[in-house]
Amino acid sequence: MEQAELRRYLALIYQLFRRDLTERYQGTVLGFAWLLVQPLFMLGLYTLIFSEVLQVRFNAQASNTHFALYVFTGLLAFNACAEVLTRSTTLITERRDWLLNTALPSWILPMIPVIVSVVLEGLALCVLLTALLVTGQLQVLGLVFYLPFLLIRILFSLAAAYSLAVLGVFLRDLRQLMPAFLTVLLFISPLLYPLELIPTDLRPLYDWNPLAQLVEAYRAALLQGVFEAERFGALLLVSTSALVAAAWLFQSLMPRARYVL
């Protein structure tokens, strides 16, 4: 791709991203402040529920804020994925007009919710890091170890976005299914409980759930300052293959999708 062409695509992506964010907070009192208010509120709520009301602790030594941060870290990955999954199914149908009447390349569209999800995750991460710093639990290398898994998260999100975006054109029911699917995903991933609590005969189920893997890896990196190289390798392989498959699906189905838009 020529440099000029790349710059044009970047400009287009930037404009679409801008509008996406503007649209989301248009007419709200807080505006872009919502980006920060939401994670702050969630963290406050978790701390209140888990640390004060339920007083959940893994062991006697753990601080009482630990469990709230534990849940929050897991939700970092989950919320970002949920954002992409909810948006993707209607991505193409909502932009029907642009696709048919302008030279907008369709492959740009699925990138937008993924970029938005990275921004949302980044802000939530800032909240998390601040909280860790304040409670004295900040792992210095945690951020460095987290970044490779963020990459994995992005690869998975892109794979989901591309396949759901194009499938959503044909299967309009997907959109209705998504909230239910997300609830299931919330419970089959170790978000509100540690993986160790799962009976060993059910473990394979979790081993094959990439989100569960990601959640565990996020926690290991950010909360314990541990880089899980083996998990990274496996996830990289799976996520890259998923993205290649999704790209192929998108490319093969998109010409057909135009007929039914």
Partner 1 sequence: MNTAIRLVKAGVCYRRYAKPRDALFEWVLGQVRHQVFHALQEISFELAQGSSLGIIGDNGAGKSTLLRLLAGNLAPSSGQCQVHGRRSALLELGTGLHGDYSGLENARLGLALRGLDNAAIEAQLPKVLAFAELGDFIKQPVKTYSSGMVVRLVFAVAAVVEPEILIVDEALSVGDQYFQKKSLDHLRASLAQGASLVFCSHNLYQVRELCEQALWLEQGKLKLLGESQAVVDAYQDAVRARQAPPMSTPKTSIEPSLASFPSLQVVSLRGAQEQAGFLPMFITWQRFVVEVRAASAGWRLEDIHIGLVIRRNDEIQCYGISTLHDQVPLQAQADGSIQARFVIEKLPLLSGEYCLEVWLIDSSGLHIYDARERCCPFRVQQSTQAQGIGLSWIPHQWEVEAN
Ranges within 78-97 binding partner 1 (CB under 8 A): 97
Collapsed DSSP state (helix, strand, coil) of residue 95: coil
Q: Which is nearer to partner 1, 6 or 37 (CB)?
A: 6
Question: Taking the complex as a whole, how short is the minimal distance between the CB of residue 185 and partner 1, in angstroms?
Answer: 24
- Judged by beta carbon, residue 18 or residue 203, the one nearer partner 1 is 18
Chain centre distance of CA 57: 27
Q: Which of 11, 37 has the CB closer to partner 1?
A: 11
CB of 172 to partner 1, least distance (A): 6
DSSP state of 53: I
Interaction of residue 177 with partner 1, rule CB under 8 A: no
169 binds partner 1 (CB under 8 A): yes
CB of residue 108 to partner 1, shortest distance in Å: 10
Report the SS3 class of residue 28.
coil
In this structure, what token pair is assigned to residue 74? 């897991």
If one asks whether residue 61 binds partner 1 (CB under 8 A), the answer comes out as: no
Q: x/- binding map, residues 91-130, to partner 1, per CB under 8 A?
A: ------xx-xxxxx--------------------------
Provide the 10 A C-beta neighbour count for residue 198: 15
Six token digits for residue 32: 């872009």
Q: Shortest distance, CB of residue 19 to partner 1, whole angstroms?
A: 6
Measuring CA to CA, which residue among 170, 156, 149, 172 is closest to residue 222? 149
| Separation of alpha carbons 40 and 127, rounded Å | 7
- Work out which of 44, 55, 172, 187 binds partner 1, going by CB under 8 A: 172
Helix axes 210-224, 111-134, angle to 10 degrees: 30
Q: How far is the CB of 169 from partner 1 (least distance, A)?
A: 6
At position 92, the amino acid (one-letter code) is I
**Residue 16, token pair as written in the block:** 């679409």
- As a whole number of angstroms, the distance between CA 129 and CA 120 comes to 14
Q: Does 257 bind partner 1 (CB under 8 A)?
A: yes
Using the contact rule CB under 8 A, the part of the chain among 39-47, 49-57, 169-177, 225-233 near partner 1 is 169-177
Other beta carbons within 10 Å of 221? 25
> Do 238 and 210 contact (CB within 8 A), yes or no?
yes
Note whether 141 binds partner 1 by CB under 8 A.
Answer: no
Number of amino acids touching partner 1 (CB under 8 A):
32
User: Contact at 8 Å (CB) between 162 and 247?
Assistant: yes
Q: What six digits make up the tokens of 181?
A: 């699917």
Using the rule CB under 8 A, which residue among 127, 167, 185, 221 binds partner 1? 167
The rounded distance, in Å, linking the Cα atoms of 42 and 66 is 15
Of residues 1, 2, 4, 176, which one binds partner 1 by CB under 8 A? 4
Task: Provide the binding-site residues for partner 1, judged by CB under 8 A.
Answer: 4, 7-8, 10-12, 14-16, 18-19, 22-23, 26, 97-98, 100-104, 167, 169-172, 252-253, 256-257, 259-260
